[in-house]
Chain A
């Protein structure tokens, strides 16, 4: 099928107008939806649009906000990381166990981070060198990491952590816990990095067409491996911050987080085939899901409904996206 013309597509009409261009920027659309939800909630209840509620949302957002960054980088590179939630739980409990065993706070945190990075490296090696399917490889490490966390703690939460450890998660810096500032900083840095650094641009090429990337001189394996390592590191840091906030290492933390991270990234414009997505979009997607969950709680909607709502939003977003794409490129 190499006739000329098969690959022709009509470009989206009106693509050149500023309105058309802005409407196709996912970040803008999500922001719009978030504002709209805020307005609706304001009309329904006075408890939503308050500083304290917003702070609560932001604090609750920290682990998922960090995890979604790594997940998005992996997705952009054409991969998938299911191990994020389990790595978060493992590094949180490990950090706690290290502290209890007498290692200093700094060393414990460092070790927990390294272990998160190593799991990411293992994911990357399995996927690039042994060519294990990303879904299977990270499903495996997810199960192992969760299992190890449960074995080490026998299912119990690790408590009695040194008091100083609570600063990051419970302290206050300019009105918010330091971990919230950290998350915002990491999101900004990662977003800029994904747009402007040579290394991160390579991730888009690898996800866009792995083979063409290889033939163009992009170190495909190294790029893919790096995304998994970054994802592991960010998952570990999310676990450590959660432990600091709760002053406990919870082996069951982050259950199902891998799926909500993927959902948030996709809502934010990432594609499961790779090559597309931004950190800002993914962060906004996470924020949006957090708002929905917060609103359900305020409105007294059963927690069981949240899954339903999240699922509907995910399906609607992706369906709307496919619809727009098909409209813009008729075969």
Chain B
């Protein structure tokens, strides 16, 4: 984009922006520029600050300090609609379409052309939408209902919606997460066409390899700081991944003293929708890592082991006895625990106090004659608040006021209080800051050292490498490999997980769904 460097100002500039939340610095002195006709990828791990940057640019958050310049002029982006009026438009990860109405109405949501009586002029609406979709090279019927479209077509409608405005900057948040390879190609073709028109595009993603060919420049964020910005031609995916992770994978020294002679849980060719003929054994005190891309069946494995999904084939055994789980209640009775990946929607009672969240699973244990003994609950919660250093004023603070990492500790505390024999953990540190992440890792390691068997499902390789005694790799619902600690490497897991050649997957960052 040499011809654009003559411009006096970049199209959009972020200058020394800092944004903090209680307990967390989400962004620290971030600098970032976007030129017209440029595709600029912002990459980083979960929690690196990518989404915060995006939300600042789209007006959801205000920076604590620093400034944002549009065409060299400082602007305060007050809110998302103000961002729109400035020509900055956002395509969110979660689609914001109304499924039950037509493509045309979605594209012109609340801006539909109206006739003399204030009624919607359907003909003009259809025509305008058709022209817009054609100009963007999209093959979508304006009168089709959004819910009948493929995910990629929905994504395109989402983009078309953004483009029906006088747009200058497009922000895309993980645009490829729900798309197939073909659909990604089509999306990228569209983005290249937009670049030709001089529109600046910011893509936020953690999939380096995917955007590598597309982006003109790439900025790496780590722990809220800019590690660096490189022109795509001057760097390579491996280098970017190292910058994102920021360190070499190190071995944790807790893998000794595992008693392999006894088996606490055994799966014999278990199948369920999304999972076929998976077998493994689990020993007391063992951490079995489960790796796999989104859609590999790794989430289903966690669900089936906790009775949230029924077995359609095969057999689960616990302590040598067949285990037929009828539901989570049954699983808990057998001493199985589960920490779900979606902490906020499935893990926590957000409006309730820390104490109430911790004792949620142990009401029976702190009750006598059907009455809850509050002093026992208080003592139990206070014990875990101290032991897990849950940063809070008191056990009566609502969990909605805690940081993500602290919240996750509360969920962990709930299960510690129940002393499960087998704990299934699905992505326990997703979206958590580095400090709390290390603490939760330590908790899991300690728990396993005391004899709890842990099935650690994770979208982060580093996490798996740090904690696991073994890693089982899933692809397409099947076990495609088992790795021992000496074999742990990004490349090995990725080759197994993606099922391609080593070169095809290098630097492809492991993702969650």
- Among A2, A11, A197, A199, the most chain B Cβ lie within 10 Å of the Cβ of A2
Q: Is A154's CB within 8 Å of the partner chain B?
A: no
How distant is the Cα of A218 from the Cα of B360 in the complex, in angstroms? Answer: 8
How distant is the Cα of A253 from the Cα of B397 in the complex, in angstroms? Answer: 45
Determine if B372 and A208 form an interchain contact, defined as CB atoms under 8 angstroms apart.
no
Question: Which one of A101-109, A138-146, A209-217, A284-292 is at the B interface?
Answer: A209-217
| Set A3, A4, A205: member contacting B360, Cβ < 8 A | A205
How distant is the Cα of A213 from the Cα of B340 in the complex, in angstroms? Answer: 12
Q: A217-B361, A218-B360 are in contact. Are A1 and B401 (CB under 8 A)?
A: no
Q: Is A5's CB within 8 Å of the partner chain B?
A: yes
CB-defined A-B contacts under 8 Å, sample of 19: A2-B404, A4-B47, A5-B52, A7-B350, A7-B402, A8-B23, A11-B393, A11-B401, A199-B370, A201-B363, A205-B349, A205-B352, A205-B360, A212-B360, A213-B349, A215-B346, A215-B347, A218-B363, A329-B401
How distant is the Cα of A15 from the Cα of B26 in the complex, in angstroms? Answer: 27
Give every chain A residue within 8 A of B151 (Cβ-Cβ).
none
Determine if A209 and B26 form an interchain contact, defined as CB atoms under 8 angstroms apart.
no
- Among A2, A4, A198, the most chain B Cβ lie within 10 Å of the Cβ of A4
Q: A2-B430, A3-B26, A8-B401 are in contact. Are A209 and B364 (CB under 8 A)?
A: no
Determine if B364 and A198 form an interchain contact, defined as CB atoms under 8 angstroms apart.
yes
Give every chain A residue within 8 A of B26 (Cβ-Cβ).
3-5
Q: A8-B21, A8-B401, A11-B401 are in contact. Are A2 and B46 (CB under 8 A)?
A: yes
Determine if B329 and A219 form an interchain contact, defined as CB atoms under 8 angstroms apart.
yes
Q: Is A27's CB within 8 Å of the partner chain B?
A: no
Q: Of residues 375 to 426 in B, which have CB atoms within 8 Å of A's CB atoms?
A: 393, 397-398, 400-405, 407, 414, 418
Q: Is A50's CB within 8 Å of the partner chain B?
A: no
- Count contacts on B: residues with CB < 8 A to the other chain: 57
Determine if B360 and A8 form an interchain contact, defined as CB atoms under 8 angstroms apart.
no
How distant is the Cα of A15 from the Cα of B496 in the complex, in angstroms? Answer: 54
Give every chain B residue within 8 A of A215 (Cβ-Cβ).
306, 308, 328, 338, 340, 346-347
Determine if B349 and A198 form an interchain contact, defined as CB atoms under 8 angstroms apart.
no
Determine if B346 and A211 form an interchain contact, defined as CB atoms under 8 angstroms apart.
yes
Determine if B371 and A196 form an interchain contact, defined as CB atoms under 8 angstroms apart.
yes
Q: Of residues 37 to 83 in B, which have CB atoms within 8 Å of A's CB atoms?
A: 46-47, 49-52, 55
Residues of A within 8 A of B (CB): 1-11, 196-199, 201-202, 204-205, 208-209, 211-219, 275-276, 329
Determine if B370 and A5 form an interchain contact, defined as CB atoms under 8 angstroms apart.
no
Determine if A5 and B21 form an interchain contact, defined as CB atoms under 8 angstroms apart.
yes
| Set B55, B352, B367, B403: member contacting A8, Cβ < 8 A | B403
A247: min CB distance to chain B, Å: 38
How distant is the Cα of A208 from the Cα of B352 in the complex, in angstroms? Answer: 8
| Set A4, A9, A219: member contacting B24, Cβ < 8 A | A4
| Set A6, A197, A209: member contacting B370, Cβ < 8 A | A197
How distant is the Cα of A275 from the Cα of B350 in the complex, in angstroms? Answer: 10
Q: Of residues 1 to 28 in B, which have CB atoms within 8 Å of A's CB atoms?
A: 20-24, 26
Determine if A213 and B360 form an interchain contact, defined as CB atoms under 8 angstroms apart.
yes
| Set A2, A10, A209: member contacting B22, Cβ < 8 A | A10
Determine if B350 and A209 form an interchain contact, defined as CB atoms under 8 angstroms apart.
yes
Give every chain A residue within 8 A of B402 (Cβ-Cβ).
7-8
B78: min CB distance to chain A, Å: 14
Give every chain B residue within 8 A of A11 (Cβ-Cβ).
393, 397-398, 401
Determine if A276 and B51 form an interchain contact, defined as CB atoms under 8 angstroms apart.
no
How distant is the Cα of A3 from the Cα of B42 in the complex, in angstroms? Answer: 14
- Among B349, B407, B432, the most chain A Cβ lie within 10 Å of the Cβ of B349
How distant is the Cα of A198 from the Cα of B363 in the complex, in angstroms? Answer: 6
Determine if A217 and B329 form an interchain contact, defined as CB atoms under 8 angstroms apart.
yes
Give every chain A residue within 8 A of B393 (Cβ-Cβ).
11
Give every chain B residue within 8 A of A218 (Cβ-Cβ).
360-361, 363
Q: Count A/B pairs, Cβ under 8 Å.
A: 127
Determine if B404 and A5 form an interchain contact, defined as CB atoms under 8 angstroms apart.
yes
How distant is the Cα of A204 from the Cα of B400 in the complex, in angstroms? Answer: 16
Determine if B433 and A275 form an interchain contact, defined as CB atoms under 8 angstroms apart.
no
How distant is the Cα of A118 from the Cα of B473 in the complex, in angstroms? Answer: 51
Determine if B432 and A4 form an interchain contact, defined as CB atoms under 8 angstroms apart.
yes
Give every chain B residue within 8 A of A214 (Cβ-Cβ).
328
Determine if A217 and B332 form an interchain contact, defined as CB atoms under 8 angstroms apart.
yes
Determine if B404 and A208 form an interchain contact, defined as CB atoms under 8 angstroms apart.
no
Give every chain B residue within 8 A of A197 (Cβ-Cβ).
370-372
The residue in chain A whose Cβ has the minimal distance to the Cβ of B394 is A16
How distant is the Cα of A7 from the Cα of B431 in the complex, in angstroms? Answer: 11
Determine if A217 and B328 form an interchain contact, defined as CB atoms under 8 angstroms apart.
yes
Determine if A7 and B344 form an interchain contact, defined as CB atoms under 8 angstroms apart.
yes
How distant is the Cα of A1 from the Cα of B401 in the complex, in angstroms? Answer: 17
The residue in chain B whose Cβ has the minimal distance to the Cβ of A213 is B360
Determine if B401 and A9 form an interchain contact, defined as CB atoms under 8 angstroms apart.
yes
A4-B403, A10-B22 known; 7 new pairs, CB 8 Å cut-off, are A2-B430, A4-B21, A7-B402, A7-B403, A201-B372, A204-B352, A219-B329
How distant is the Cα of A199 from the Cα of B367 in the complex, in angstroms? Answer: 10
Determine if B431 and A211 form an interchain contact, defined as CB atoms under 8 angstroms apart.
no
Q: A2-B430, A199-B370 are in contact. Are A209 and B404 (CB under 8 A)?
A: no
B6: min CB distance to chain A, Å: 36
B47: min CB distance to chain A, Å: 6
Determine if B51 and A3 form an interchain contact, defined as CB atoms under 8 angstroms apart.
yes
| Set B55, B367, B400: member contacting A7, Cβ < 8 A | B400
How distant is the Cα of A274 from the Cα of B483 in the complex, in angstroms? Answer: 46
A53: min CB distance to chain B, Å: 38
Q: Is B123's CB within 8 Å of the partner chain A?
A: no
Give every chain B residue within 8 A of A205 (Cβ-Cβ).
349, 352, 356, 360
Q: Is B351's CB within 8 Å of the partner chain A?
A: yes
Give every chain A residue within 8 A of B338 (Cβ-Cβ).
215
The 3 closest A-B pairs by CB, nearest first: A5-B21, A2-B431, A217-B332
Determine if A212 and B346 form an interchain contact, defined as CB atoms under 8 angstroms apart.
yes
Give every chain B residue within 8 A of A201 (Cβ-Cβ).
363, 372
Q: A8-B401, A198-B363, A211-B345 are in contact. Are A3 and B351 (CB under 8 A)?
A: no
Give every chain B residue within 8 A of A211 (Cβ-Cβ).
345-346
How distant is the Cα of A182 from the Cα of B275 in the complex, in angstroms? Answer: 57
B30: min CB distance to chain A, Å: 13
How distant is the Cα of A2 from the Cα of B405 in the complex, in angstroms? Answer: 11
Determine if A198 and B372 form an interchain contact, defined as CB atoms under 8 angstroms apart.
yes
| Set A3, A10, A198, A212: member contacting B52, Cβ < 8 A | A3
How distant is the Cα of A6 from the Cα of B404 in the complex, in angstroms? Answer: 8
- Among B24, B328, B414, the most chain A Cβ lie within 10 Å of the Cβ of B328
- Among A1, A197, A212, the most chain B Cβ lie within 10 Å of the Cβ of A212
The residue in chain A whose Cβ has the minimal distance to the Cβ of B46 is A2
| Set B340, B351, B431: member contacting A4, Cβ < 8 A | B431
Determine if B352 and A3 form an interchain contact, defined as CB atoms under 8 angstroms apart.
no
How distant is the Cα of A276 from the Cα of B328 in the complex, in angstroms? Answer: 25
Determine if B397 and A209 form an interchain contact, defined as CB atoms under 8 angstroms apart.
no
Determine if B24 and A208 form an interchain contact, defined as CB atoms under 8 angstroms apart.
no
Q: Is B180's CB within 8 Å of the partner chain A?
A: no
| Set A7, A10, A217: member contacting B407, Cβ < 8 A | A7
